[in-house]
Amino acid sequence: MYSFSRIENAPDCDFLLTWASKEKADLTLKKLNEEHSVSDYGDTSVEIGAVLQGVIAELAAIQIMIDNLPAGPTKQDAIKKKKKIGIQTIRVGKPSGKLWFCSLTGKAT
């Protein structure tokens, strides 16, 4: 911290004003970046939720189809497709840990 008692001339004062202006600009930029990040996380959360709901609906439809099919190659293909969709659900549900957590909580860290 710079003491006011050490200000002896105009260049000292100019230096402190320049320093304070730079600090203010840095803090303003940091605030703007945080606001932008929170907005992005919110948008990402909505997108992930929509995709996840679609995948869950498709998974439920395939399960109904599997339950009603007789044993055979078509049923085996449906079971394989269900496994692939299950993996897709995991991928959509966890695109990246920090981003997903921030999207759900609405908090940027």
- Quick one: CA torsion of 16, 17, 18, 23, rounded to 10 degrees? 90
Spans of all domains in the chain: 9-105
pLDDT digit string (tens) for 11-55? 888 888 899 999 999 999 999 988 887 777 767 777 777 777 888
* pLDDT band with cut points at 50, 70 and 90 for residue 108: very low
Look at the pTM and tell me if it is higher than 0.75. Answer: no
Of the ranges 11-15, 72-76, 105-109, which one carries the lowest mean pLDDT score?
105-109
Three-state SS sequence of 23-54? HHHHHHHHHHHHHHHHHHHHHHHHHHHHHHHH
Using pLDDT thresholds of 50, 70 and 90, give the confidence band for residue 6.
Answer: confident
